[in-house]
Amino acid sequence: MFPDLIERLRKREQQGLLRQRKILESPQSSQVTMDGRDYLAFCSNDYLGLANHLDLIESVSKGARRYGVGASASHMINGHFSAHHVLEEALAEFAGFPQALLFSTGYMANIGAVTALVGREDAIFSDKLNHASLNDAALLSRAKFIRYPHADLALLDQRLSTTNARRKLVISDAVFSMEGDIAPIPELVAVCEKHQAVLLLDDAHGFGVLGRQGRGSLFLPDCGSIHSPNIIYMATLGKAAGVFGAFVAAQAEVIETLIQSAHSYIYTTATPPLLAQALMVSLKLIQQDEWRRNVLTQNIVQLKEALQSLPWKLLPSSTPIQPLMIGESAEAVCISQRLRERGILVPAIRPPTVAQGTARLRISLSAEHQPCDLMRLAEALQEIALQV
């Protein structure tokens, strides 16, 4: 063991930055059992309440009976099952692209897409608040890594005009995971077109939730019907879709390039085909259960109203990610802890995940939350506000 690990861990602990896992003993839902106690939870990405849906559970056991449990090989060797293939076609159609490719996780999809598409002679332009997986992907690709201030398209435009890189790849979260705000997508697309850059849009938190029938951020009203061959769309299937996995959707030649050269696609075991089978059911529910998105929208409106009188303010977000800005890490941790004592789970997000001095409580809403759940959270926060 490296002897300095002890010292480093101790320092983290002293700074209140030691991350700890909690042990969940119930299905994922708005009510969970954790470490032997029941909680009202605001910390899942299961925005539509599908992770625990009986139709999905049923499809998983059907899938297991048909295909067995494991894929037992990579997609390129002998692990590409009919369930994967059918799902890829359905995802491409749903997301509005010619083709789609399944990855095991969103993390791997971003790593694979970026490293397969750009290298040493190229440049990546990345929003400062992008997800860690996109930053890691950029570093691994060895392309020049140029970050621009959050959603600052004038600076992005300027930086794109001064580059002499062979390929220019702009990468952005569609919904920023710690802020909840939505990227200026039409403007991003326009800037990319102007500079012949390709846009990789990470819609981990928009897929299933935003746009017509939950088709994602590119189907938001102000995106009109953006059709640019220069967009590469990525979304995960472990959040609103309630299962596991991710996909990249794009032009056929882009997808073929990923199949040929994305290491995180080629050199890994395919996800169990039973999950692809469940995802077909999830996709159907995402499309048809408009009521889930309507309840979610009502919950967002109600939460904003209920938290208005607090000394802390919600960031301006219209998505199910509703961060309550606190500031100091210790205070955020303290409030999260007091909520927990009252049987409510809301995670405190601290540096290095967010910038110094911007620690926050990240409230995630789901279609499973009831109006009384939101009232309970608001009342608990009001009580805590009087104490701290």
Residues forming the site for ligand PLP (CB under 6 A): 105-107, 110, 131, 133, 173, 177, 202, 204-205, 236, 238, 246
Go through 319-342 and write b for each residue having 16 or more CB atoms within 10 A of its CB, e for each that does not.
bbbbbbbbeebeebbbbbebbbee
Residue 27: Cβ within 10 Å count: 12
**Helix runs in the chain, H state only:** 4-14, 54-67, 82-95, 106-117, 132-141, 153-161, 185-194, 252-261, 263-266, 273-288, 290-306, 329-341, 371-387
Residue 150's identity, in one-letter code, is: H
- Measured from the CB atom, the residue of 283 and 384 that comes closer to ligand PLP is 283
Least Cα distance to 173 among 140, 137, 142 occurs for 137
- Is 269 labelled a binding residue? no
- Is 85 labelled a binding residue? no
- Measured from the CB atom, the residue of 177 and 217 that comes closer to ligand PLP is 177
- Is 131 labelled a binding residue? yes
Question: What helix, strand, coil percent values describe the chain, rounded to 5?
Answer: 45, 20, 40
Contacts of 355 (CB under 8 A, 6+ apart): none
CB of 246 to ligand PLP, least distance (A): 5
- Is 106 labelled a binding residue? yes
- Measured from the CB atom, the residue of 52 and 298 that comes closer to ligand PLP is 52
- Measured from the CB atom, the residue of 77 and 132 that comes closer to ligand PLP is 132
Contacts of 288 (CB under 8 A, 6+ apart): none
- Is 205 labelled a binding residue? yes
CB of 41 to ligand PLP, least distance (A): 17
CB of 106 to ligand PLP, least distance (A): 2
- Is 369 labelled a binding residue? no
- Measured from the CB atom, the residue of 131 and 168 that comes closer to ligand PLP is 131
CB of 175 to ligand PLP, least distance (A): 7
Residues forming the annotated binding site for pyridoxal 5'-phosphate? 106-107, 177, 205, 236
Residues forming the annotated binding site for substrate? 19, 131, 353
